Every structure is written in structure tokens, then in C-alpha cells.
């Protein structure tokens, strides 16, 4: 496929907001183009080709050098645009079109397999000349895609899920099957596309299909009326929900978002394949602190989630643990219609068997969840409040006599989350965002009182609505005291309710405390800065919890 054709597809997809319309565009694109083109489109749109050949900084320096453009001016533009590839594209406009030169229509194959990889073999001068030459021979509306491929920042708002859906609709085959086919090392070729749209499903593909997930409802007070003995209690882990399938020797890890994540967690796939039985387990994947036998925070997990094929070092640095809490299928038999209390017995028995009978040790990567046994509802509440100690979010309460249905059905599972910790803090700094938030001040720092001074205690950038972000941005621009690069110090005036998950002593912070996952939960326009909390309040909170 040519770069020109792909740029057109990109443009079309980029000017549609509705998911359904995007699917329609992709479907009709696949129908009207050659398999090889389709294969390239899928490769790039799913981000499989996202490799950084040169950095955004390098690109900006290069432009500055070639066109004698002040670096500071490019940087100022970047603050508005939020993407190096796009800034350079915009600045290149009207600079490169020379009428004498014949514009090239390079194929993606040549660009990605030859032209760009060869850049790394050149010395700096040759490389710069080559890039300049490509800029000057490409049609202007192909610059963005070229620069994005070069800097490995290709994101279109077309997720892998959207591609999966489009192909699924195109050939009328379940999304899970397409997901499975898209897994792994997808190389753009006629064969790989033909394989993707093959209407015959093979056994391995069928074997990988997950069950629909059962989801928990929010806790309702009326449950207190029931006997505590009717329920099973578990800790609510904050990891990735995973259905772990092993059928005829093959292991598949499915997330709730119908994503197959085998590649991100190869060590789990490997270990589980040693178990002799076939099964389907429902559970939570976590980064595990083996010394203390508790989970690490979700933020640690985030460092691993997006790494495809993690190195051995990463695997050791972020050790995973799969905590199973339900058994849905055993040796080909679907047991979802069996009562939970009996499924639990099966789960425990099989786990014991696997632990003792499997050749390789599996207990360093797989366990079943512990149950909690409160004697009454009052004690259940105490357990819930203690959940922070083991880095869980609260309790999951399950009806012992329930069957495993799908979706968020009432009366089966409940989540009973511990209330987040909160403090009211004053906004003191703001920093510009990047990407979609470029040009807006969206990264905020908050402070608490100490001896009539405001001391910074947390930074947060999530929790406000788009309308609030715009409103706050306007306010920030009008109430700046000083600018330091992209950061502005602000008139202390705005109070926000900040929620967080954990609070502890920290010598690294000026405030002496560190909080986990701080986020904005309310813009307290009703409060003035004297109503904000003090560091004293934060210490009290810490005492109360430990």
C-alpha cells in the first residue's frame, strides 16, 4: 500500500467521532482494497508498527537546523500542539513544495522495511539529508503520517478492539476469534490478512474462547438483613481481572475488555501449561510482594501492563501473581450452574492437587484467594476498614448459593469498597498537558496549610470534567503569579477535594508525607483557602489508619 492511500484512510478515520461510523469506514475499506493493503492498514492501526526510529526531540532539532528556525519557537509551538510529529508537519507547510520535483508515492512496504530502517545505518549528516529529501519529495498531506511513523507515535483513536470488531462484522465471526488471530507477531502480508478473514474456525481458536464475565454490583444496605452465613467474603484486589483458560494444552489469558494478553505475561502462560487438567479460572492478576504476601499498588502493575514481551529483568522486577477466585470449567465440563459454595470446594481441591502434583512449582505465580470469615456484619465492616493494610480496596461479598451468570446481575456479587481518604487542598501550581490536553493547563499541584504557609503535598491531573478543565484553564491564565518554563505558580484561591488511596511518611517530600493515586474528586468552589486542610489533618488521618 502506498503512504498516500494510508494517509487518506487515516484522514477519514480521524474525522469521525462515532465508533460505529469508524467501523463502517474500516469495513468498506477492507472490502474495497487488496489484502496486502488491508494487512498494512491493520498493522499500522493496531500500533504493531510503533517503533521509534528517531525521537521527537531529534526531529525538532533537525527541522531547526535545516530551516534555520529558532529552537525556542518550535518548543513554544509544541506546547500548543502537544505532538512533535504534528508540530513539524505544521511548520513544514509551504516549505517543501517545489514545483520542479516530482512528488513521490512511496509504498509503506518500502518506507517501513527499507527507507526508515536504513536511516539508522547512516551517519548523522547523511541521515538528516535523507529525511530532508523525503520531506521535500512527499506530498504535504503525507507528512504527518511519515513523521508519526518516524517517531513511533502512531495513534489514531482506532483501538485494536475497533479493528477486531470491524473484521468480526465483515466476516461474521465472533470477536474473540479475531482477537486470537490478531495476537502475536502480526506481519503485514497477503497471507496474514487471509488468515485473519478465514471463515473456518479451527479447534484451537474455539478452545480459546472465554465465558462472559460476571460483574459485582455496589453494596446495598439491605444485605445487612440477611444472615452473614449466606455469603462468602473475599478481599477486593485492585489488579486486572483475568479469565485464565487452559484447554487441550493451550493457555489463554483474557481481560474483561476481551483482550488477549498472553504476550504481556509469558511466565504465567508457561507455568500454567504444566498443569495436567484443563480448566477455566476467573481471577485477578497482580504484581505481588512475595515478602509480605500482599499485592503492590495498581500503579506498579501499570508499569507492566503495556509491555508486550517483557524481558526477564522486567519479569523479575515486577513479579506477577494470579489469584483465582472461581472455577468455571474443569476438564471440558462447564460448572457455572453449580452453586458458588460447591464451586469453591472444587477450586480448593483442584488447587491442592495441582500444587502437589505439578512437576514445576506453580505457587510462586498462582494461588487461590483467601476467604475471610466475619462472625457478624459489624465485624465485616471492621474487615473492610482494614483492607488498606493489605493493599486491597475493600471486600467482595458473594452469595454462596448463586450460579455464575454473565454481566452485572443483581443479588449475586457485591463490591464493598472502603471510602477513599480525602483532604481539601489549595491549587498552587499548574503545568501544560500534552497530547489531547495540549494547550491547556491540566497538571495541577496542591498544597496544605502549615504555620500559615501552603506546603505542596500532591499532584493530580485527573478527575475534572472537560468543561471544568477549560474553566480552570481560563482562571489559571488570569491568575498566574510567575512562569517557570511550562509551569505557572498561581494565586492561592481555588480549593479542591483530593482523594487518595494511601498516606505515609516520606522523607523525599517537603511536606513529609506521600499519598498514592491522588485525584481530584470535587472542585470546592464553596470553600475559601482558609477552609482547606492542614498538614496536621493529614498526620491525624495517617494515625487513624495505622
Chain residues that interact with another protein, rule: CB under 8 A: 14-18, 70, 72-73, 76-77, 80-83, 86-87, 90-91, 93-94, 157, 435-439, 466
In the complex with another protein, the residue whose CB is nearer, 243 or 442, is: 442
> Strands 453-460 and 502-505: what pairing?
unpaired
Select 72 or 290, whichever has its Cβ closest to another protein: 72
Cβ proximity to another protein: between 73 and 505 the closer is 73
CB-wise, 67 or 346, nearer to another protein?
67
Nearer to another protein, 437 or 516 (CB): 437
Local structure of residue 406 (DSSP, 8 states): S
Using CA atoms in the order 282, 395, 501, 496, what is the torsion angle rounded to 10 degrees? 110
Q: What b/e string do you get for 138-166 counting C-beta neighbours within 10 Å, with b at 16 or more?
A: beeebbbbbbbbbbbbbebebbbebbbbb
Q: Which is nearer to another protein, 353 or 436 (CB)?
A: 436
Measured from the CB of residue 72, what is the shortest distance to another protein in angstroms?
7
User: Is 298 within 8 Å of 238 (Cβ atoms)?
Assistant: yes
Q: Which residue has the cell 493493503?
A: 37
Distance CA 528, CA 538 (A): 19
- Which of 491, 492, 435, 493 lies closest to 461 in space, CA to CA? 435
| Cβ-based nearer residue to another protein, 159 or 422 | 159
Least Cβ distance, residue 15 to another protein (angstroms): 4
Nearest to 423 by CA among 538, 540, 519: 538
Cell of 13: 478515520
Residue whose CB is less far from another protein, 202 or 466? 466
CB of residue 442 vs another protein: minimum separation in angstroms? 11
Distance of CA 299 to the CA centre of its chain: 11
State how far the Cα of 227 lies from the Cα of 489, in Å rounded to an integer. Answer: 56
We find the least distance from the C-beta atom of residue 407 to another protein, in angstroms, to be: 30
What CA–CA distance (Å, rounded) separates 199 from 205?
Answer: 12
Write down the least CB distance from residue 171 to another protein, Å.
Answer: 24
Find out whether 12 and 165 touch, Cβ atoms under 8 Å: no
Of the two residues 25 and 542, which places its CB atom closer to another protein in the complex?
25
Q: Which is nearer to another protein, 6 or 213 (CB)?
A: 6
**Residue 108, SS3 per DSSP:** helix
Q: Rounded to the nearest whole angstrom, what is the least distance from the CB of residue 91 to another protein in the complex? A: 6
CB of 305 to another protein, least distance (A): 24
**Contacts (Cβ under 8 Å, ≥6 apart) of 115:** 106, 130, 134
Phi-psi region of 157 (alpha: psi -120 to 50; beta: other; left: phi over 0): left
Q: How far is the CB of 470 from another protein (least distance, A)?
A: 9
Least spacing, CB of residue 439 vs another protein, in Å: 7
To another protein, the closest distance from the beta carbon of 429 in angstroms equals: 19
Residue 532 in grid coordinates: 482547606
* Cβ–Cβ < 8 Å for 243, 254: yes
Q: How far is the CB of 170 from another protein (least distance, A)?
A: 20
- Which residue is associated with the grid cell 452485572? 408
Q: Select 19 or 168, whichever has its Cβ closest to another protein.
A: 19
Alpha helices in 332-406 (DSSP H): 340-357, 377-386
CA 543 to chain centre: 33
Amino acid at each position: 500500500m502506498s503512504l498516500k492511500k494510508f494517509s487518506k484512510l487515516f484522514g477519514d478515520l480521524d474525522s469521525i467521532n462515532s465508533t460505529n461510523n469508524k467501523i463502517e469506514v474500516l469495513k468498506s475499506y477492507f472490502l474495497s482494497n487488496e489484502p496486502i493493503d488491508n494487512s498494512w492498514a491493520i498493522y499500522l492501526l493496531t500500533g504493531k508498527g510503533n517503533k521509534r526510529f528517531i525521537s521527537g526531540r531529534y526531529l525538532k532539532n533537525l527541522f531547526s537546523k535545516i530551516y534555520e528556525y529558532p529552537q525556542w519557537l518550535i518548543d513554544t509551538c509544541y506546547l500548543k500542539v502537544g505532538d512533535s510529529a504534528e508540530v513539524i508537519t505544521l511548520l513544514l507547510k509551504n516549505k517543501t513544495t517545489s514545483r520542479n520535483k516530482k512528488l513521490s508515492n512511496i509504498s509503506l512496504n518500502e518506507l517501513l522495511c527499507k527507507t526508515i530502517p536504513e536511516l539508522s545505518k547512516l551517519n548523522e549528516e547523511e541521515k538528516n539529508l535523507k529525511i530532508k529529501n523525503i520531506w521535500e519529495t512527499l506530498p504535504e498531506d503525507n507528512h504527518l503520517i511519515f513523521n508519526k511513523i518516524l517517531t513511533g507515535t502512531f495513534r489514531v483513536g482506532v483501538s485494536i478492539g475497533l479493528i477486531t470488531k470491524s473484521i468480526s462484522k465483515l466476516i461474521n465471526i465472533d470477536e474473540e476469534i479475531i482477537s486470537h488471530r490478531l495476537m502475536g507477531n502480526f506481519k503485514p502480508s497477503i497471507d496474514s490478512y487471509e488468515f485473519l478473514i478465514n471463515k473456518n474456525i479451527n479447534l484451537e481458536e474455539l478452545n480459546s474462547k472465554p465465558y462472559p464475565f460476571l460483574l459485582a454490583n455496589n453494596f446495598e444496605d439491605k444485605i445487612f438483613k440477611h444472615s452473614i452465613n449466606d455469603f462468602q467474603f473475599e478481599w477486593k484486589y485492585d489488579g486486572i481481572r483475568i479469565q485464565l483458560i487452559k484447554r487441550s494444552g493451550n493457555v489463554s489469558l483474557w481481560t474483561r475488555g476481551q483482550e488477549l494478553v498472553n504476550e504481556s505475561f509469558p511466565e504465567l502462560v508457561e507455568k500454567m501449561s504444566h498443569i495436567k487438567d484443563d480448566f477455566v479460572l476467573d481471577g485477578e492478576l497482580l504484581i505481588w510482594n512475595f515478602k509480605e504476601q500482599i499485592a503492590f499498588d495498581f500503579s506498579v502493575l501499570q508499569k507492566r501492563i503495556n509491555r508486550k514481551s517483557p524481558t526477564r529483568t522486567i519479569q523479575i522486577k515486577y513479579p506477577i501473581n494470579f489469584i483465582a477466585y472461581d472455577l468455571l470449567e474443569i476438564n471440558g465440563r462447564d460448572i457455572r450452574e453449580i452453586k458458588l459454595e460447591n464451586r469453591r470446594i472444587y477450586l480448593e481441591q483442584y488447587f491442592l492437587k495441582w500444587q502437589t502434583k505439578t512437576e514445576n512449582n506453580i505457587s510462586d505465580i498462582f494461588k487461590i484467594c483467601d476467604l475471610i470469615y466475619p462472625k457478624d456484619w459489624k465485624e465485616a465492616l471492621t474487615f473492610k476498614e482494614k483492607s488498606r493494610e493489605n493493599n486491597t480496596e475493600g471486600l467482595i461479598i458473594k452469595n454462596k448459593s448463586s450460579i455464575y451468570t454473565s454481566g452485572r446481575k443483581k443479588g449475586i456479587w457485591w463490591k464493598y469498597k472502603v471510602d477513599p481518604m480525602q483532604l481539601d487542598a489549595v491549587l498552587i501550581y499548574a503545568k501544560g498537558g500534552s497530547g489531547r490536553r495540549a494547550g491547556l493547563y491540566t497538571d495541577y499541584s496542591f498544597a496544605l496549610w502549615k504555620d500559615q504557609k501552603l506546603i505542596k503535598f500532591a499532584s493530580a491531573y485527573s478527575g475534572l470534567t472537560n468543561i471544568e478543565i477549560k474553566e480552570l484553564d481560563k482562571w489559571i491564565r488570569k491568575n498566574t503569579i510567575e512562569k517557570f518554563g511550562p509551569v505557572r505558580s498561581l494565586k492561592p484561591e481555588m480549593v479542591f477535594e483530593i482523594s487518595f488511596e494511601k498516606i505515609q511518611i516520606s522523607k523525599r517530600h517537603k511536606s513529609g508525607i506521600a499519598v498514592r493515586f491522588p485525584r481530584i474528586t470535587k472542585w470546592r468552589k464553596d470553600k475559601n483557602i482558609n477552609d482547606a486542610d492542614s498538614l496536621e489533618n493529614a498526620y491525624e488521618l495517617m494515625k487513624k489508619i495505622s
